[in-house]
Structure 1
Amino acid sequence: MSLNETLTNDLKTAMKAGKKDELTIIRMLKTNLMNEKIKFGHDLNDDEAAAVVNREIKQHLDSIEQFKAGAREDLVEQQEKEMKILKKYAPKQMEPEEVAKIVKETVKQLGATGKSDFGKVMGAVMGKIKGKADGNVVKKAVNDELK
């Protein structure tokens, strides 16, 4: 079942149950997916749909940081609630150990030797694991490997 079909089914369920927070997030996701579909001019594949969900999660994380800095705990709580809902639709994230393994393989393939090869390794790794791991996890793994 595609993400859009899942969202449609969950939208109906949330409407019947009267879950306003879920309704808001699902509608937002459906709108963002539709905008992305229009932008690309074709139905989104799984990777493109996952990128939309991951982008929303990242925006919520950024908002949480900003609200914490501004001492707005009420908004932090709301963003965290919304993020829990968003994470249901995000692709499963890779474990740091899996990322480290891919980084090691990529470093060998590219023949990378030091920090000067950081950008080359990051680009190659992010291309392989697109949307399946957070960029910060990849960055840490690459830094650890290219000491």
Structure 2
Amino acid sequence: MGLKAQITEDMKAAMRAKDSVKLGTIRLITAAIKQKEVDERIEVDDAQTQAIIEKMIKQRKDSISQFEAGGRQDLADIEKAELAILSAYMPAALSDAEVATEVAAAVSTSGAAGPQDMGKVMAILKPKLAGRADMTAVSGLVKAALTKA
């Protein structure tokens, strides 16, 4: 079953269970998917669906930090609940050690000599790690590895 089909089935289950938080979050996902399909006149696949969800997760994380900084814990809690639901649709995250191993392998295979080669290394890592690791953290690891080299 594809990711889009899984989301649709989960929406039906949330409707039956009268789970308004989950239903609302899943409706946000389907709306974002439909928006992309209409805008680009395409049928999104699982990778594109994951990219949409990953973007929504990043938005929720940013919102949580802003709400907590502004003293609005009630709104931060709502965003955290949505974040938990969105995260369930992403593949299992890699551990820090696995990410470090991937970074080291990418640096050696790309032949990167210094920070100016960061783009080459990130081009190798992005398809492998997208959705499975925080790419901002990966970028920091790559930068650290290349400044040592």
TM-score, shorter chain, exceeding 0.5: yes
The alignment partner of 2:126 has SS state of helix
1:70-111 Cα offsets, whole Å, 9 max, x none, are 111111111101111111112222222222222112211221
Gaps of 5+ in 2: none
Provide the C-alpha distance between the structure 2 equivalents of 1:63 and 1:137, rounded to a whole number of angstroms.
19
Aligned partners of 2:67 and 2:73 also within 8 Å = yes
- The reply to whether residue 95 of structure 1 matches residue 109 of structure 2 is no
Aligned partners of 2:115 and 2:143 also within 8 Å = yes
Identity over aligned residues, as a percent?
35
Provide the C-alpha distance between the structure 2 equivalents of 1:124 and 1:39, rounded to a whole number of angstroms.
29
What is the root-mean-square deviation in Å for CA atoms of aligned residues? 1.6
Aligned partners of 1:11 and 1:27 also within 8 Å = yes
The alignment partner of 1:124 has SS state of helix
Structure 1 residues 127, 10: closer, same or farther in 2, change over 3 A? closer
| TM-score, structure 1 as length reference | 0.90
1:54-69 counterparts in 2 under 5 A? 54-69=54-69
Gaps of 5+ in 1: none
1:35, distance to aligned residue in structure 2 (A)? 1.2
Aligned pair count reads: 147
Amino acid aligned to 1:76: A
Residue number in structure 2 paired with 1:24: 24
Large movers: runs of 4+ above 6 Å: none
Mean Cα deviation higher: 12-21 or 126-135: 126-135
| TM-score, structure 2 as length reference | 0.89
Residue number in structure 2 paired with 1:43: 43
Provide the C-alpha distance between the structure 2 equivalents of 1:121 and 1:16, rounded to a whole number of angstroms.
47
